[in-house]
Chains A and B, each alone.
Chain A
Amino acid sequence: MDEFLGSAASRVSASPDTLDRIQKVFGESIPVSAGDEDLPYELKLDQAASLDSIAVVEFMMAVEKEFGIAIEPEFIEFDFLRDFPALASYVERRMKGRPDSET
């Protein structure tokens, strides 16, 4: 996980399309209180986790569904999901590993 978490490489490697799609999924799965719309991603996730930690699981599963991947158990960690660039880079790596992408 360290290869993704907080590394400089992870911050530049994800494509804008992947980042947008995760943002969209995030907006659909994580409820945000009025007035908190401008909070950064990780603070919104913190808030959601403190109110209803199931919402974080639903977000993670929505990402899996959106990209047709399964997040490996060792990556199912709150700190990892909080790191938006790391998550996006990981998602792209997992998509490349899918059988239908090996053409």
Chain B
Amino acid sequence: MDLISQRAPASPPPAPSSDALPLLRVNDLLWFLYLYPLRTLSALDPRSLIHPIGRLAEPFVQFRSRKRREMVMRRMLSAQGAGITRDQAPRIARQFIANSTFRMLDDLVLGRPSVEGKLRCNGIEGLEHLEQGKSAGRGVIVLTAHFCAGRIAKRYLATIGYPMLSVRDQMPRGDWWGRLGRRILEARRTDLLHAVIGEAAYVQDPGSTLKILRRLRSGGLVNIHFDGQSGTGTMPWPFLGLERRFSTGIFDLVRLSGCAVVPMLCLGRSTAFRVIFGPLMDIVKAPGREAFIRDNLPTFVQTIEKQIRDHPGEWEQWTSF
């Protein structure tokens, strides 16, 4: 049976038309505070200003996100493979909301042109695995899941000589704005995200795969979030006890380019984070596209499942799981 399904790359869902929106929402005010005064403060001294503000704001954010937190708890419990008990779920869900908040604050830090001295890395483990992958000269795919510290880690790694091309979906239009927010704030948010993410290949771009291949053939690094669901081909596989469709494009890239694959886990916040590289993934060189995917997908899934089971509060995808 052919389990790989092909589809056109999903475009971000259309945002509601402006006419249907109220003039102003509470979210507009919060986004205004985030994109203007907070962003300006972040330019001055992020470490001593932004994170204390985050700590002060956390009770308010937890209160405002209570429905989201409940949804996250339900999803944690329905994903039985995550091994989260009823007793643990409320604490991990609170942690998830707090981490999401601090990730947004860290984005303000990363949005600055220079982050020199602003990111405090507590350690990088397993860098020798990345070096080993690079030494073959065919590039390295850095395999990750959506963890809160991923952007911080990538930016830091770029400053020490390991720049990565990020593979991602086109930025979706937010559906949380009122008319004023959409007119005034949305473009500023997009600018910020572009500055935070840096060099990227957007899967909706027809040339994205070639851009990735180009980076790999130059011996460079490409970061792919394996728990993302973008891409034209997908295959279902059990994941944390539920079925999830995984993009198969990564396997095509590995098969065609012969690149190495190194898993990476990033934990923490800009004030204290660490990066852990795992050993090179053992790639099964099965003949043919489908066999190659079938033989390698389970190991890839197990790798990110273990990361999520070990650090469930830092995984960002509970809301879309």
Contact = CB atoms under 8 A, between A and B. Distances in A.
A56 B213 CA distance: 11
Contacts of A61: 256
A33 to B, nearest CB: 12
A74 B210 CA distance: 11
A52 B6 contact: yes
A49 to B, nearest CB: 4
Contacts of B232: 51-54
A3 interface: no
B207 A54 contact: no
B210 A46 contact: no
Given A46-B206, A54-B252, A76 B8 contact: no
Q: Give the most central of B209, B215, B218, B256: most A CB within 10 Å.
A: B209
B214 interface: yes
A50 interface: yes
Contacts of A74: 214
A33 B215 CA distance: 31
Nearest to A46: B206
Contacts of B218: 73
B208 interface: yes
Given A51-B6, A52-B233, A57 B214 contact: no
B168 to A, nearest CB: 15
B214 A77 contact: yes
Interface residues of A, number: 19
A74 B233 CA distance: 27
A82 B47 CA distance: 48
Contact of A56 (B209, B215, B253): B209
Interface in A43-71: 46, 49-54, 56-58, 60-61
Given A50-B8, A50-B9, A52-B6, A77 B256 contact: no
B217 A76 contact: yes
A69 B76 CA distance: 51
B319 to A, nearest CB: 28
B6 A79 contact: no
Interface string B214-234: 110110000000000000110
Interface in B236-281: 249, 252-253, 256
A100 B236 CA distance: 47
A58 B218 CA distance: 18
Given A53-B207, A54-B249, A76-B210, 19 more contacts: A49-B207, A51-B8, A52-B232, A52-B233, A54-B232, A54-B233, A54-B256, A56-B206, A56-B210, A57-B213, A57-B252, A57-B256, A60-B213, A61-B256, A73-B217, A74-B214, A76-B214, A77-B211, A79-B207
Interface of B: 6, 8-9, 206-211, 213-215, 217-218, 232-233, 249, 252-253, 256
Interface of A: 46, 49-54, 56-58, 60-61, 73-74, 76-79, 81
30 contacts: A51-B232, A52-B233, A53-B207, A53-B208, A53-B232, A53-B249, A54-B209, A54-B232, A54-B233, A54-B249, A54-B256, A56-B209, A57-B210, A57-B213, A57-B252, A57-B253, A58-B256, A60-B210, A60-B213, A61-B256, A73-B215, A73-B217, A76-B210, A76-B213, A76-B214, A77-B207, A77-B210, A77-B211, A78-B206, A78-B207
